[in-house]
Amino acid sequence: MNVPYVLRLLCLCLASFFIVNALLGLGAALASRAAVRMAETMRARTAAHFLFAVRLLPSAVGISAVVGLCVPSYLWLEPQATAERVGWTCLTLGLFGALGLLLSFARTARSVAASARCNRLWRKAGSQTQPAGEPSQTVIVDKEGPLLAIAGVFRPQLVVSNGVLRALSADELDVALQHENAHRLSRDNLKRLFLLLAPGPIPFLASFSSLDRAWAKFSEWAADDEAAAGDPLRALSLAAALLHVARMGAGPRLNFLYTSLVARDDDLSARVDRLLRIQPAGPLPPPWARGHALGVGLGIAACVSILLASAPILASVHRLLELFVH
């Protein structure tokens, strides 16, 4: 496999990803208001899952198109001895695709580096303990500011300041810790990493800001619901904890890879209002039903992959790439 052959494939992959991601991404951005209105009719956790899927769909389809269609059709049907050149249109679109990916990788690298640096400072300045009922160690920072957050992506752990520990009562602290544990169980920090990695449809254009804000809002609401567990007394304790932490003043500025108890002041009143009107949680679907739904989804995905990998489909894709490369 010679170098020009590989470079043509790389350019085609980047250009194909850019086209699919841009078309679907612009469509998702235009439909973001409708998606948020639809999410408002769902339960908070379901709404968060729905918006997360809408946000990642363009990039996921773009990667699937490249891996499942572009690469196999090129390797199967494109002779290595060909000397054809890549046209300016394909080259320009490939550069846009590369730029979008590089920007998302750079954004992610900055956030990961800042998060790791902050975690190291907190571990050095604080003490580690493992409270009863907590699945991992907790870092207690000797500060008076309002700090209560989940730090880390792959091994998330709780970070709390001495000021918060003194400001909250036992019931308020318990339900606040359950709120953060709900974020840990739903892997919200890992989801935030995926959101950073997924490039927007057009480089330097913030097309998904409203979807990101809506997803963060529903994720907080879902953690509130799961911490309250349908108990009005626990909901009241969590509302009181939110107000106490918010009244402690401005806390440390956390980057996107943290989930904090009070992340956004503009959503605080809505969260407190929801907690004061909490309703008993409905029954969860049984484990076998959730497993059945997952199996059906994986089966459909496997059938679609087999269909797309068929010879006539790959041949059609190769003919399209031939027209596109010139």
289-324, pLDDT tens digit by residue?
A: 444 444 555 555 555 555 555 656 656 655 666 555
**Sign of torsion, CA 181 183 187 193?**
negative
DSSP 135-179: SS-EEEES--S--EEEE-SSS-EEEEEHHHHHHS-HHHHHHHHHH
Instruction: Please report the pLDDT score of residue 285 as a whole number.
Output: 47
**pLDDT-derived band of residue 287, with 50, 70 and 90 as boundaries?**
very low
**Between residues 130 and 57, the one the model is more confident about:** 57
pLDDT at residue number 288: 43
Instruction: Indicate the domain borders of the chain.
Output: 3-288+299-325
- Is the predicted pLDDT of residue 70 greater than 50, yes or no? yes
Q: Has residue 74 got a pLDDT over 60?
A: yes
User: What does the pLDDT read at residue 71?
Assistant: 80
What pLDDT, in 10s, does the model give residues 1-54?
577 778 888 888 898 899 999 999 999 999 999 999 999 999 999 999 999 999
- Is the full-model pTM beyond 0.75? yes
Please spell the DSSP secondary structure of 64-91, one letter per residue: HHIIIIIHHHHHHHS-TT--PPPPHHHH
Tokens 């997952």 locate to 294
- Provide the pLDDT for residue 278: 73
Is 80 exceeded by the pLDDT of residue 194? yes
Mean pLDDT of 121-139: 70
Q: Which of 231, 144, 222, 142 is nearest to 184 (CA)?
A: 222
pLDDT confidence tier of residue 132, bands split at 50, 70 and 90: low
Pairing, β 157-161 against β 259-260: unpaired
The Cα 36–Cα 146 span in angstroms is: 30
Higher pLDDT, 265 or 71: 71
Residue entry with tokens 């809408």: 54
Longest dimension (CA), the chain: 74
H/E stretch holding 263: none
When pLDDT is cut at 50, 70 and 90, the band that residue 144 belongs to is confident
Whole-number average pLDDT of the chain: 82
CA 245 – CA 156 distance, rounded (Å): 21
State how far the Cα of 12 lies from the Cα of 71, in Å rounded to an integer: 9
pLDDT greater at residue 133 or residue 188: 188
Nearest-10 Cα torsion for 223, 227, 231, 232 = -70
Q: Tell me, what DSSP letter sits at residue 200?
A: P
Question: Residue 214 to residues 55, 101, 145, 195: CA-CA distances in angstroms?
Answer: 11, 24, 27, 13
| Confidence check: pLDDT of 119 > 80 | yes
Supply the pLDDT for residue 317.
59
Average pLDDT estimate for 121-147: 74
